[in-house]
Amino acid sequence: MKLWAKLTLGISLIVIVLFSIFGHLIIQKSFDFAMEQIIRQYQMQHANYRIFIEKEVYGDESNFDDNLQALYETVKLIGGLNRTALYTDENEMLYSSYEMITDIDFIEKLIDLKDGYRIKENSDSFILGVISTFIVEKKEVYFITVNDISDVFVQKEIQYRQALLLDIVLLICVIICVWILSKYITYPIQKLSNISERIAGGSYSDRTHITSNDEVGVLAQNFDKMAEAVEEKINFLEQAVCSREDFVANFSHELKTPMTAIMGYADMLRSHENSPEIQIKSADYIYKESKRISELSLKLMDLMRLSDEHISIEPVDVQKLKIHIGEHFIWNMQPAIVCADKILIISLLKNLCDNAKKAEATEILIKGYLEENKYKITVSDNGKGISEKDMPRIKEPFYTIDRFHAGINDGFGLGLTLCERIANLHGTSLILESMIGFGTTVGFELPLHELKQ
């Protein structure tokens, strides 16, 4: 069952049950009050009759011996106005103006009271009997008045039927109102459910866009944040898969070219008699291509070996890095002590300088300076530069701007990938600025240990 249906059914039942209970209590209270009033009214009427009888029967002392006859006559007189009866203590009826007074069981129960009242239910009416006792000629004589009080019970039934009709009308109104309210309340939840199904189906960019400040709104906003994080993670994984596929494809391509050449020259040496010059040339080509494959494997090993577990951060004097890099560059480093892995930083600078040489640079400038509590190192050249379309992919493994020239320059497209990985291990990243025909500048930052005096 849907949540909105549960809310509608539950709230409607609660409202109707509570209304019915309170309605029953009100009707019962009203009925009890009406019964109390009518009983009091007929008891007062009976008391007035009794006073009249006593006045008529006991008012004249000279007729004391005829009191029973006087009582009979007086009750008969009253019987013309109301339903009355007169019984002896032996349940003998002396007078009755109402046929129901012949109900011996009812009479006996009244006589047992001697003074008071009793209510009897007939098939279609309710009877109130009030009794009081007279002592006449040393005998008990019972005076009974009977009244029909069915109207009170009829009114109670009418009120119950009206309450039932009102319950039905109220139930319909409550169901309609609660249905509208529950639909309004559960709409964000339904929307959240639909969006989650669409996201599960692959539509990762969908969002609920619910901005209410209630609990459902907060849930929806957190759901959107979660969906955004999932989308970013999935995009990252997809990109990683694509990068891995590109890596395998490029690696296969890099191996294919030298391996084809090696196999061709080896087959020629194996299957033909060649002049010494051709043999030397073929062997030399096989040697160079084999060396190229060896260098590729070493580059890959360096790339795979780089991790947080193999890095050793220690104070490094930037001025002492110069002797490990070479002489074909311009050195302009502000003295400082940085926190870095010396061997990896040297490898990074060497790779950047090698890339500059492959870009046909005639001048390479290595510069270091203090910037916002960091030590920034840049390697600038005046080579061919990098185009805007190549810039986003320049750090990818095996990506080269010109594969033909890359083959001539023994490049694999792994230099910048290694440099970026080394920079990442030092908590930074490579920043590239380049323009075709004007050269390239690659920079990265290192944390300071202390300034060198």
Which tokens is 72 given?
């009979």
The answer to whether the beta carbons of residues 272 and 285 sit under 8 Å apart is: no
Does domain 3-156 bear CATH number 3.30.450?
yes
Q: How many CA atoms lie within 13 A of 88 on its CB side?
A: 9
Q: Where are the alpha helices (DSSP H) in 272-379?
A: 276-305, 342-358
Which pTM does this prediction carry?
0.47
Q: What is the pLDDT of residue 43?
A: 92
| Closest by CA position to 316, among listed 375, 372, 367, 365 | 375
pLDDT of 294 reads 76
Residue in the structure block whose two tokens are 């990985």: 421
List the CATH code of the domain at 309-450. 3.30.565.10
Q: What is the DSSP string of 129-173?
A: EEEEEEEETTEEEEEEEEEE-HHHHHHHHHHHHHHHHHHHHHHHH
Give the pLDDT confidence score for residue 117 in this predicted structure. 92
User: What's the pLDDT at 100?
Assistant: 53
- CA 75 to CA 26: how far, in whole Å? 40
Res 102: pLDDT: 60
Which phi and psi angles does 18 have, rounded to 5°? -65, -45
For 44-72, how does the pLDDT look when each residue is reduced to its tens digit (9 = 90+)? 999 998 888 888 777 655 444 457 777 78
Tell me yes or no: is domain 205-305 CATH 1.10.287.130: yes
Give the start-to-end residue ranges of the domains of the chain: 3-156, 205-305, 309-450
**How far is the C-alpha of 75 from the C-alpha of 350, rounded, in Å?**
136
Q: Are 220 and 365 in contact (CB under 8 A)?
A: no
CA gap 339, 449 in Å, rounded: 6
pLDDT beneath 50, residues of the chain: 62-65, 403-410, 453
Q: Is 396 left (phi over 0), alpha (psi -120 to 50) or beta?
A: beta
3-class secondary structure, 126: strand
Chain-centre distance for alpha carbon 387: 48
Q: Which two tokens stand for residue 124?
A: 């279609």
Same fold, 205-305 and 309-450: no
